[in-house]
Copies of this chain bind each other. A is one copy, B any other.
Amino acid sequence: MPKYRLMTPGPTQVPEDALLRMARQVTHHRTAEFRELFAEALEGLKYVVQTSGDVIVLTSSGTGGMESAVTNFVPRGGKAIVLEAGRFAERWSEICAAFGIEVVKLEVPWGEAVDPAQVAALLADHPDAVAVYGTLMESSTGVGHDVKAIAEVVRESDALFVVDAISGGGVMECRFDDWGIDVLVIGSQKALMLPPGLAFVAVSEKAWQRAEAVDAQAFYFDLKQYRDKLAGDPDTPFTPAHTMIAALAENLRLIRREGIETVWERARVLGRATRAGITAIGLEVFAQRPADGLTSVRLPDDLDGAAFLKSLEARFGIKVAGGQGHLKGKIFRIAHMGIVDELDILGTLAAIELVLDQMGWHVELGAGATAATQVLAGRVGSAV
């Protein structure tokens, strides 16, 4: 009867106060009490995103947020550039196609990062592109893209810069206003430590202005309807998943108490510790520009990956994520975001060693923990 240890990049472990909040009897949502709680949550979301502008709360999974970030800003027949460097970036292209938007793709091999210079070149070739769609932390590959540098490039053009930060927002440094991002989408079940069910969309003033000219192919995801309910005591145009918003407010209090920069730094260190441990065990990190919130690990060709993951769960209750798309069976992914902490990572590394050993693999037992604790103790530099 192993304990369950959720180490996937979404959903992530949910803090106790948020869980208990969702166990409280439901109250009505069109009340002063809810609007007060909603206002608090919105302030917390702005803090996480680092914006003084609007953040819209949608009752949907992250994909719904992505759809809103397409249909509100690019008209049918318009052109969009998609920085396609993984499974979730592909989703931008799929959404555009569903709504009759022309897509120009920058295809990047999975595991590699988007090169800002290539974005600049593509923008020069397509000055009529209405928006550039990118990803902060591509959870299918474990790559953290250089959103700051890409934003600088896009700012030189006339296009909006839209970022899928569904898994990255709240764990990887990302400064919406300072970096000049126009639209950014976050999911509830990643760094914000909730179950799935909410998506958050930050919108810049420039993006709102562009949206005015677009006949949005949207109703439920018509962001203007949501914005118009935010003035004064904030409310929502449609019934929100308000018990989750109450739980969100709990989690945002935790984040504000710790400080977002501390949260980012903690993930950076955990990422370095995880990579050091994985390497010491003799495995290989897959991503060429590793994200702060998850580590993708190549499964050796001669290892039965399915049996390995199954044993991790059966013996230790550790649930990591396998690969997606053409990476299925090729990698596994360990999250370090939300309330995942140092001991969760050390435990996961030890479990990996023990399972590999059990499977007859040659492992120097303790090597992972040794390397990781060196990082956690600050004994090795940030170059790892």
Complex CA–CA separation, A29 to B189 (angstroms): 11
Interface size on A, residues (CB 8 A): 50
A209 within 8 A of B: no
Chain B residue nearest to A237 (CB atoms) is B63
A60 within 8 A of B: yes
Contact B221 A220, beta carbon cutoff 8 Å: yes
Partner of A63, one of B4, B64, B67, B238: B238
Number of copies: 2
Contact A62 B239, beta carbon cutoff 8 Å: yes
Main secondary structure on A side of the interface with B: loop
Residues in B whose Cβ lies below 8 Å from that of A321: 28
Within 8 A of B (CB), among A230-271: 238-244
Residues in B whose Cβ lies below 8 Å from that of A241: 61, 195-197, 241
Chain B residue nearest to A15 (CB atoms) is B25
Within 8 A of B (CB), among A146-199: 187, 189, 195-197
Q: A61-B59, A62-B239 are in contact. Are A222 and B19 (CB under 8 A)?
A: no
Contact A14 B25, beta carbon cutoff 8 Å: yes
Partner of A27, one of B20, B243, B319: B319
Residues in B whose Cβ lies below 8 Å from that of A14: 25-26
A8 within 8 A of B: yes
Complex CA–CA separation, A236 to B271 (angstroms): 30
A368 within 8 A of B: no
The interface bits of chain A over 52-70 (1 if a CB of B lies within 8 angstroms of the residue's CB, else 0) are 0000000111111001000
Residues in B whose Cβ lies below 8 Å from that of A11: 26-29, 239, 242
Cβ-closest 10 pairs across A and B: A23-B23, A197-B241, A98-B219, A195-B243, A22-B22, A63-B238, A61-B239, A64-B220, A196-B239, A19-B23
Write 13 A-B pairs (CB below 8 A) sorted by A numbering.
A4-B27, A6-B25, A8-B28, A11-B28, A19-B23, A19-B24, A59-B61, A60-B220, A98-B216, A99-B217, A195-B241, A195-B242, A197-B244
Q: A64-B64, A217-B217 are in contact. List 20 more A-B contacts (CB 8 A).
A: A6-B25, A6-B28, A11-B29, A11-B239, A12-B26, A14-B25, A22-B23, A27-B319, A29-B196, A59-B60, A61-B238, A61-B239, A67-B219, A98-B216, A98-B218, A99-B217, A195-B241, A195-B242, A195-B244, A241-B241
